Amino acid sequence: MLAPEAGEDTELIAGELARGLVPPVQPNPRFARDLGQEIRKAAQQQIGSTTRSSLCGMVVELRKVVCLLCETLIPVRPSAEFVRSLGKQLRAHAADLIQARERRWRWVLLGGVVGSIVSVLGVVATVLLRRRVNGANGSVADAQRAVPVQDKAAF
Amino acid sequence: MLSEAPSEAELVLRAREDPEAFGQLYELYVSQIYSYIYYRTGNHHDAEDLTARTFYQALRHIRHYQDRGLPFSAWLYRIAHNLVANWHRDHSRRQVIALDEIALTSPRPNPETRMESQDEQRLLMHLIRHLTEERQQLLILKFVEQMSNREIADIMGRTEGAIKSLYHRTLLALRDEWVMTKQQESQ
């Protein structure tokens, strides 16, 4: 901070300043330049050191967490007994599933065959029935046609 | 002449009709799936139960499995992930990993240091449990299964870049929580 030069009456200067007779005191350009440089340097140091230290701290903490993760999260293996028994159960279940699927497929196939036979038989039966009905209808019509002739002959 | 071991894709195809092929697939992946489920549930009992359910479900649906160029394990992890999510929903409780049962990777001669390290591991597990499901899954696949980002991306159905970014965010979040908890402890 700039101090008034020795011997100067500060009250007088203040009064004159108030009246606008003396221009406001300007800092020495060299002093201002030097001070600016010092402040800039200090600020750079402060910011730089803060960033560096905090960055350093962050990296150290991060490294610590990663190391701990490596130590903590290690593969856990199931017991051999569990693996063996589950494997056995799964194989048996897989065999059952495959058998059940084959059985189901067999039933579907059998159902299809039976269905086809039944449908063919149905068609045959329908055809035969229709023929029989047609045959019976034909003989009745013949008989009806024959009756009037006999009647005419009777008259 | 030595017969070549069947590829994973061949095994999967055969497993639809052959119980032995499914058994081989099971043996290939049971440890990984168990490990994954163990870290998600926090105890061996539920890990065994859910591992069994994962493979039973896989067996029931293997006929509908479609090979989309992803490893078969990705499909198994998806099933396991869904089962674990349902398990958390049903139980709605948080369990603490019994770290005493987990062997430490490096032997520590000094009991005090060992104790401190175990405390730190417990704290870390506690913090991991409070992460989101996908972050937990990522950490388990990364550290327990030591998978690459590509493999994790396949399993989680994300891009490699997304996994990388999620991994960094997870580590930073974990570090922040760690520092905060440590500071609270020291106060």
pLDDT, tens digit, 9 for 90 and up, residues A85-139: 999 999 999 999 888 888 888 999 999 999 999 999 999 999 999 988 888 777 7
**Contact of B163 with B149, CB cutoff 8 Å:** yes
Of A8-17, A45-54, A98-107, A137-146, least confident by mean pLDDT is A8-17
State which of B44, B65, B95 marks the end of a domain.
B95
Last residue of a domain, one of B46, B65, B95: B95
Q: In chain A, what residues touch B124 (CB-CB under 8 Å)?
A: 65, 68-69, 72
pLDDT of residue A23: 47
pLDDT at residue B103 is higher than 50 = no
B54 — phi, psi (to 5°)?
Answer: -60, -45
Q: Which of A74, A108, A128 is the last residue of a domain?
A: A74
Same domain, B169 and B82: no
Identify the three-state secondary structure at position A57.
Answer: helix
Instruction: With H, G, I as helix, E, B as strand and everything else as coil, classify residue B2.
Output: coil
Which structural domain, as residue segments, surrounds residue A137?
Answer: 95-155
Over 80: is that where the pLDDT of A57 sits?
no
Residue A51 backbone dihedrals phi, psi, to 5 degrees: -65, -45
Instruction: Tell me if residue B16 falls in helix, strand or coil.
Output: coil
Query: Which residue, B161, B26, B141, B137, is CA-closest to A87?
Result: B26
Residues B87-106 have a mean pLDDT of 58
* A4 shares a domain with A44: yes
Per residue in B21-71, pLDDT tens?
999 999 999 999 999 999 999 889 999 999 999 999 999 999 888 888 888
**For residue A113, what are its two tokens?**
């065959």
Structure tokens at A57: 């701290």
Q: Is B85's pLDDT higher than 60?
A: yes
| pLDDT tens digits for range B52-62 | 999 999 999 99
Closest-CA residue of A relative to B106 is A71
pLDDT at A3: 42
Domain boundary among B95, B128, B153: B95
Model confidence band, residue A24 (pLDDT cutoffs 50, 70, 90): very low
Residues B99/B121, Cβ–Cβ less than 8 Å: yes
Domain of residue B170, CATH code: 1.10.10.10
Tokens of B181: 């908890």
pLDDT mean over B110-134: 82
What is chain B's length? 187
Select the more confidently predicted residue: B104 or A122. A122
Residue A146 clears pLDDT 50, i.e. is over it: yes
Q: Are residues B82 and B131 in the same domain?
A: no
What residue type is assigned to position A13 of the chain? I
Q: Output the pLDDT for position A44.
A: 58
With an 8 Å Cβ cutoff, are A71 and B175 in contact?
no
Interchain proximity A73–B31, CB inside 8 Å: no
pLDDT above 70 for B75: yes
A80 touching B (Cβ < 8 Å): no
Contact A72 B102 (CB under 8 A): yes
Looking at the predicted structure, is the pLDDT value of residue B108 above 90? no
User: ipTM score of the complex?
Assistant: 0.77
- A57 domain residue, yes or no: yes
CA atoms within 13 A on the CB side of A113: 6
**Closest CA relative to residue A95, chosen from B48, B23, B52, B10:** B23
Residue B5 in contact with residue A46, Cβ under 8 Å?
Answer: no
Lowest-confidence region among A134-143, B156-165, B174-183: A134-143
DSSP, residue by residue, A80-118: HHHHHHHHHHHHHHHHHHHHHHHHHHHHHHHHHHHHHHH
**Residues A106, A65: one domain?**
no
Tokens of A82: 């569990």
Determine contact: B31 vs chain A, CB below 8 A: yes
- B82/B141 same-domain check: no
Report yes or no on A83 lying in a domain: no
Q: How confident is the model at residue B139 (pLDDT cuts 50, 70, 90)?
A: very high
Whether B79 and B7 map to the same domain: the answer is yes
For a pLDDT cut of 90, what percent of chain A falls above it? Answer: 26
CA distance B17 to B20: 9
B100 pLDDT above the threshold of 60: no
Give the 3-state secondary structure of residue B151.
helix
Nearest chain B residue (CA) to A71: B105
Q: Is the residue at A79 inside a domain?
A: no
* Residue B3 pLDDT grade (very low, low, confident, very high; cuts 50, 70, 90): low
Q: How much of chain A is helix, strand and coil, in % rounded to 5?
A: 85, 0, 15
Residues A103, A155: one domain? yes
Q: What is the pLDDT of residue A133?
A: 86
A137 inside domain: yes
* DSSP category for residue B63: G
Does residue A85 sit within a domain?
no
Q: Is B24 exposed, middle or buried (0-12, 13-18, 19+ CB in 10 A)?
A: middle
How many beta carbons lie within 10 A of that of residue A117, not counting itself?
10
Number of folded domains in chain A?
2
DSSP states of B64-107: G----SS-HHHHHHHHHHHHHHHHHHHH-------GGGSPPSS-
CB within 8 Å of B39: residues ≥ 6 apart = A73, A76, B97, B136, B140, B144
Q: Does A84 fall in a domain?
A: no
Q: Which residue has the higher pLDDT, B157 or A21?
A: B157
Question: Which residue, among A97, A104, A75, A105, has the nearest Cα to B55 in the 3D structure?
Answer: A97
All residues at 6 or more sequence positions from A153 whose CB lies less than 8 Å from its CB, including other chains: none
Sign of CA dihedral B96, B97, B101, B105: negative
CB contact under 8 A, A90 and B55: yes
Helix crossing, B44-61 with B72-91: angle to 10°?
130
Residue B12 belongs to domain spanning: 1-95
Number of domains in chain B: 2
* CA–CA min distance A52, chain B (Å): 18
